[in-house]
Structure formats: C-alpha cells, structure tokens
Structure 1
Amino acid sequence: MDPYSSAQQPGSSLNLALNPNHMLSHSSSIDQQDGQDQSMLNLAQQSGSRYMNQRDKILMYQLNQYYITKATARSKNIAKTIQEVVKVVHDVLRELEIQEPRFISTFTEVDGHYEGLQVVSSTEFEVILYLNQMGVFNFVDDGSLPGCAVLKLSDGRKRSMSLWVEFITASGYLSARKIRSRFQTLMVQACEKSSFSSIIKLIPDSSEVKIRVRDAYTIQITPAFRCSGLWPRSASHWPQPSCPWPSPQVVQEVKNDGFDLLSKECISAQRGKQSAMEGDAWLLSFNDAENKLLRGGNRKKCLSILKTLRDGNLDSAGQSCITTYHLKTLLLHECEKHPHDYEWDDYNLGDRINGILLQLISCLQSRRCPHYFLPSLDLFRGKLMDNTSKQIWRLVRRLIMDPASLERL
C-alpha cells in the first residue's frame, strides 16, 4: 500500500486538523467561531479531492517559502547573536574560574556546536555549566517533587570527601539552593570584572543567574550535573510499549545518554513558598534527549516553523505564556501520533503543524500541558494564562482557509 495514499484521501487534511480526538485532551473543545466562519470550514470539508489537493499544494508551497524566507532568517539572526553570546560567556566564566576553581568552564565547541548552549528563544539563551564529582551522591527520584530529584550522600562518612562539602545539608542532601546562592554571588563579581562589563548587567530579583546584554537579549548560566547512563524512575513509563516511535535503537541511545540535573527552582515552587526539600532539589532536564528524538523527517523543520510563527504572532510584546519549549513538547507528542517519517514530509507538514496548534489550544483550555517524559509534570503550572488560545485559533483558521496568508504572518 502506498504510504501516501491515506494522506491524499478527499478531505483528509481538514478532517485531521479539525478532529478534536486529534488533541491531547478530550475534555475541552475549540470555541466555535461565528456562523460565517463555520460555514466556510464546513464548505472546505465537503469540497472534495480537487479542492483539497489544490489547497494542500498551496499550503505545501507556502510553508516551504515561509521556512526559506522567515524561519531561516530567524535562524541566521540567532546564529549572529550566538557569536556575541559565546564571547561574553567565555569571558565571564574565565573570571568566575579565577575566583572559584571548582566552577570550571565546560563551555567548549564540539562539532560546530557549543556544549551546554541552548536557544530558549531568539532573545533568550541558556548555558549549562557542568559540575564535577557527583559520584559520592545517590540520585533519589521518588516522585514526591514532580520534575525534580535530590542528591543524597551515599555514606555520611564521605561528606568530607565531597568537592561540594559546604553545600551539603545536615540531612546529607546536596542543596541546589545553596549552590545557586554561592554561584550568584560569584557571578556578580565576575560580571563586574569582565571586559564586557559596560554592556552586561546581572538581572536582580532572581535566585538564578541571568545576564542582560546591551538590553537586547538574556543569557542564563546554570550549574548542573550530567547524569550519563542513568534514567529516572519517574520517566520509566517511556516509551509506551504500543507506540512504534522512536525505534528501540534510538530509545537505547537516549537512555544511555541520560539527562541533566539543573540547579533551578522546582516548577512546583515557582509561584509559592518553597519547602526545604524543594529548595534542595534539582530540576530534571531532557534537552539533549528531546533534540535527539527530533532527528529524521521534517521534525526539526516543523519546530523551526512553529517557533517563527510564535515569535511573529503569539509573542509580539515578549510576554507570551507560550514558550518554544511548550511547542517542542507538543511536537514530541505529535511524533507518537504520527511515528513514520513520511508523515512528516513536505506534503503532510501542514497537517502536522495544524495538529500541534490544536493540541496547544486544548492544553490552554484545560490549563494543563504535560511534560513529554514526565506526564505528571504540568508545564503550565505557575503560568498566567491569557487569551493565547484565541490567537492560536485565528492562526489555525488562516492556515486552513487561506494558506497564502503565510506570506503576511
């Protein structure tokens, strides 16, 4: 059977895009638009293969043009900014290491990419500073703090052997909060002594280190431990045995590479008073694993288009509750629904984008967005919801009814 045959059935693209069963949550439905808009949608669904084939060709062409002209331009602008980010980070971390040799810079270039550099958005970057000597601690992941874990001394007699002895609590936990506090104090001095001191400033009122550069973009630097060869119990359900994606080989590769433990505040405590355990806990990060899963097909191209649409249509004031990480998370969920590479080719890419945006609307209406690896972790927790769902629905309508409107988005 031709793998493309199901995608070419009359009305298939719109039926997929408008089917609420396609969403993550079934508890809420999309707000109905006025009668004229609904009539147009019904007409589009009933118009037959000739209309659909023509519409799909237009959407495929417009998406490719959008990717070439706008998404690629966004990537090039980010690449230019990264050149300055690299210089600032190298300089600040050099000053940091002079003050405290335990914070050794791991910010190095590997195969054209910088180790630990993450692009959060076109104006937000994060650099992960990997720490040494996690070995005397046990990784404890009991599920009591969604998205977090603690590091506990494997033997109380090993306390004095730890490189981080003064950050260990009386109960034997390596405190992320204590490391954040010390790191921030050191970074204040490092920024003052940096050769870029005239254009950078540390953002106040945050327990995490965020550096503002020329009032144009932000760099967050986060101490972390790399946990290679480990896989958290809270993510043990992954992958679902009934899902053919990803392949067993990729699953094994992802689990062998492991994850990171970041010295960030727990999501559960970001809008309230922290408990002692929440302050000591470390945040689980699967960034490298997620990027590895997006290899193949047009998955990365899809994410690039979604990020560009977000920047231009959902984040005009820079205050959107929707982050690029939410989009990446929903893309991973969509990959499970459509596990084959041909389902992500140029012909089907429009349906995948519509599907992800409709998932996002559903998540906004239910006020819950489950983490891909840790479904008990709600990525919307602590977020102030706004009218974003209406903005996204307008965007989906335009993509469905008028693919040529991409030229103006």
Structure 2
Amino acid sequence: MLSQNTATLAQIAAFYADKVQARRLEVHKTVRLIAKIVQDLLKDVEHQEPRFISTLNENSHGRFEGLQVISPHEFEVILYLNQMGVFNFVDDGSVQGCAALKLSDGRKRSMSLWVEFITASGYLSARKIRSRFHTLVTQALERSQYRDICVLLNDNSDVRLRIHDAYTVQITCSFRCTGIWPRSANQWPSTPNPEWPNPMIINDVKNEGFDLLSKEVPIPIPPQNSNNTPGAKQQPGGSTIDGDAWAMSMASAENLLLAHSNRQKALSILKTLRDRHLDYNGSPVTNYILKTLILYECEKHQQEHEWYDINLGDRIIGVLLQLVSCLQCRKCPNYFLPQMDLLKGKSPIVLDHSARACWTLVRRMILDSRALESL
C-alpha cells in the first residue's frame, strides 16, 4: 500500500468511487430527511419566539447551511442568533475551549435583544439561552406531526432529538464571530510556511473566525486544597464556569484549510474507513478527531504534490498511525485550541481497545497492497 504506483492509485480510485461515494449518497438522503423535520420544528419555535429565527436553509449547491454531519447517524444543526447589543468577547482561559460574552457597559443592558439572559455580572448566559430554547423545542414537538417518530432526549440540557430511533440530531444556538481571532488560538500558525498554509490562506482563515456554541460544558472540579475558606474572593473568570460560558467551534476555519488540493478527499476516505471498522458503541474515534489529525498531517506534508492521488495512500496511513499514537498516549489536542484534549475523560480500556483495532486496520493496509478491496 505504501508503494507509490499505479496499482495503489487504482485501489484508492476504486475505494473512493464505490464505498466513499456510497456513504456520501446515504448521508445525503438522511440529511434531507432530518432537515425537513428540523426545519418544521424551528418554524414553530420561531412562531413562539421570533428571536430564535431559523437559519437552516438549503443553498444553491443542495447543502443545508449550518447542518454538520458528525457521523452517518449523528448530526448537529447550528442555529445562528442575532447578537444585537454591545458585548465584549472574553477569552480568559478559565474554561478550556470556551469564552464568554460580557456587556461592555452595564448601562446598555436594555439595548440587548437578549436582556433577560444576561447575568447580574453582565455575562450573556449560554445556559439560560439553552434552557429557554429547550422549552420552546419541547412545546413545538408536542404539537408537531412528527411527535410519534421524534423524541427529545433528556440526558443533558442540550436540545437533542432522536428521529426514527435511528438518527440523533443536536440543535445548538450559536453566535457567529467573523473577523476576530480568539486568544486561545494565537499560537497558530506555529511555524509559518510559504507552502501550507500560505499567508493568503492564513489571512482568510483568521477572517473566517469561529462560532460560539451554547453547548453544555463540563464544569472543572477545583482541587481539594483550593481557596474554599470563608471570605475567599471568587476568581475573576468564575462567572464563566457555572454554565454561562460558550464553547468555541473552529469548524469553518478548519473546513477552509482543508478545501485545497486532495485533503478533503483524504478525509472522506478516512471517514469511510472509520465508519466501517472503528465505529462501535462508545468508540472514542470520531470523525472530528480524524479531521484534526488530517490538519496535523498537513503540517508535516506541506507540499501540494504530497497530496496528489499517487501519494494519498501514504497520507491516509500517516493519519492512522497518528491516531494509534494518540490513543496509546490518551491525548489528542484540538488543532486550533491545543489546550483542549479531544480524548479527555475517555476510559483507558476503551482507548486501548480502539488503539488495537486501529493498528489492525493500518497494519493490514501497510502489508496488503490490495487491502482496500476488502476494507
């Protein structure tokens, strides 16, 4: 498989044409099915509360804006809200991968569209908005024609739907932050290179910005010897820890980086391999981790010719070897926000099992030049 020859090229072409495209077609059918249901629910939500305007629309390319495919059975819909009001973006590192929105001037509280969701300390609370949205979706579902096939999951405070007992869809309220770059991602790019990403792409990525998501965020547990004594002052960033923080998502910036050459094609192949061989109940190997590792592989192989079809087999194996290493080390840093560990909290037993399964897959690809025919 590692050899760069026409046989390898043919193997990859056949795998992509048969299995990757079949997966893509199946996902596309599912997306259209769930998008119709979510659109109808969001129309009802908007009727109840006009501030929650549906942004799930199909574009001219047949894609639904804001709908992300987590896996063939798991999806997320990002509902972009209007941020009317004067808020400062606070990225103080108090919660890894999260930030806060705070009024720049308390006197402008009444000017905000979301006035009742602002805390006493002036933070726009993701928890309060999430709670209100959860109530609205619950009410919409009770009146919906889909209530027999669609169930609202209550395992946490996020809005998660189970459709046809087969598909899970999370609907997340979000604010789009364009033209600014979070302090937590200031280390990128760590080693600027004229090849990848070139200065023009770097500028485009930073202008693309990021999203702030109202997802439920795990609350850090303070050390037992922390200042819990009477009269101890609360840390300045404390108000962002109790659920008011917004999770940062760099998905748009990541997609922009992968839009060049064959990088997206390599990711599609890896997703298909993951779904066929590394997808089981409780698997820590997500498509997002594969996307992250592709970005790290891009840093190692910055020349465009290294991503041509003839070299794609080497790149795919390189990512899988990175995956084995991450699973064994029990750590996979987020690409733009390396302080976030994508494997944090995963069971060592599960990680070891996944490492063995991944190694079995990659060893087969290395040793068998015709492995993709049966994978």
- Cα separation, 1, equivalents of 2:218 and 2:337: 13
Aligned mate of 2:48, from 74, 80, 99: 99
- Cα separation, 2, equivalents of 1:347 and 1:152: 51
Write the letter of the residue equivalent to 1:107: L
Q: Which residue of 2 aligns with 1:18?
A: none
Q: Which residue of 1 aligns with 2:216?
A: 265
Aligned mate of 2:312, from 349, 361, 377: 349
Within-5 A mapping of 1:105-124: 105-112=54-61, 113-124=63-74
Q: Which residue of 1 aligns with 2:166?
A: 216
Are positions 1:371 and 2:334 aligned together? yes
Aligned mate of 1:133, from 63, 83, 91: 83
Are positions 1:185 and 2:148 aligned together? no
Aligned-pair identity (%): 58
- Cα separation, 2, equivalents of 1:61 and 1:318: 33
- Cα separation, 1, equivalents of 2:123 and 2:23: 43
- Cα separation, 1, equivalents of 2:132 and 2:283: 31
Q: Which residue of 2 aligns with 1:207?
A: 157
> Relative to structure 2, which stretch is displaced further, 176-185 or 131-140?
131-140
- Cα separation, 2, equivalents of 1:359 and 1:68: 26
- What is the CA distance between 1:265 and its match in structure 2? 2.3
- Cα separation, 1, equivalents of 2:207 and 2:356: 41
Write the letter of the residue equivalent to 1:212: R
- Cα separation, 1, equivalents of 2:213 and 2:126: 8
Within-5 A mapping of 1:269-308: 269=220, 277-278=240-241, 279-308=243-272
Aligned-residue RMSD, C-alpha? 1.8
- What is the CA distance between 1:63 and its match in structure 2? 1.8
Distance 1:57 1:383, change over 3 A: same
Structure 2 unaligned segments of length 5 or more: list them: 224-237
Q: Which residue of 1 aligns with 2:231?
A: none
- What is the CA distance between 1:277 and its match in structure 2? 2.4
- Cα separation, 2, equivalents of 1:182 and 1:86: 22
Q: Which residue of 1 aligns with 2:18?
A: 69
CA contact (8 A) 1:267 1:382 kept: no
CA contact (8 A) 1:228 1:256 kept: yes
Within-5 A mapping of 1:216-235: 216-235=166-185
CA contact (8 A) 2:91 2:100 kept: yes
> Relative to structure 2, which stretch is displaced further, 351-360 or 106-115?
106-115
Q: Which residue of 2 aligns with 1:330?
A: 293
- Cα separation, 1, equivalents of 2:374 and 2:239: 50
CA contact (8 A) 1:259 1:289 kept: yes
Write the letter of the residue equivalent to 1:344: W
Are positions 1:382 and 2:345 aligned together? yes
Distance 1:349 1:357, change over 3 A: same
- What is the CA distance between 1:276 and its match in structure 2? 5.2
- Cα separation, 2, equivalents of 1:240 and 1:196: 49
- The TM-score normalised by the length of structure 2 is 0.90
- Cα separation, 2, equivalents of 1:228 and 1:277: 22
Within-5 A mapping of 1:387-402: 387-402=353-368
CA contact (8 A) 1:176 1:282 kept: yes
Counterpart secondary structure, 1:197:
coil
- Cα separation, 1, equivalents of 2:327 and 2:219: 18
CA contact (8 A) 1:141 1:233 kept: yes
Distance 1:231 1:144, change over 3 A: same
Counterpart secondary structure, 2:188:
coil
CA contact (8 A) 1:134 1:225 kept: no
Report how many aligned residue pairs link the two structures: 354
Q: Which residue of 1 aligns with 2:373?
A: 407
> Relative to structure 2, which stretch is displaced further, 98-107 or 72-81?
98-107
Q: Per-residue CA shift, 1:50-86, capped at 9, x if unaligned?
A: xx45xx4433322221111111100000001111122
- What is the CA distance between 1:255 and its match in structure 2? 1.1
CA contact (8 A) 1:146 1:376 kept: yes
- What is the CA distance between 1:269 and its match in structure 2? 4.8
Distance 1:336 1:177, change over 3 A: same
CA contact (8 A) 2:99 2:240 kept: no
Write the letter of the residue equivalent to 1:98: H
> Relative to structure 2, which stretch is displaced further, 127-136 or 385-394?
127-136
Q: Which residue of 1 aligns with 2:198?
A: 247
- Cα separation, 2, equivalents of 1:312 and 1:276: 43
Structure 1 unaligned segments of length 5 or more: list them: 1-12, 15-51
- Cα separation, 1, equivalents of 2:220 and 2:66: 25
- What is the CA distance between 1:256 and its match in structure 2? 1.2
Counterpart secondary structure, 1:348:
helix
Write the letter of the residue equivalent to 2:20: A
- Cα separation, 2, equivalents of 1:220 and 1:104: 17
CA contact (8 A) 2:85 2:111 kept: no
- Cα separation, 1, equivalents of 2:85 and 2:110: 13
Moved over 6 A (4+): none
Q: Which residue of 2 aligns with 1:82?
A: 31
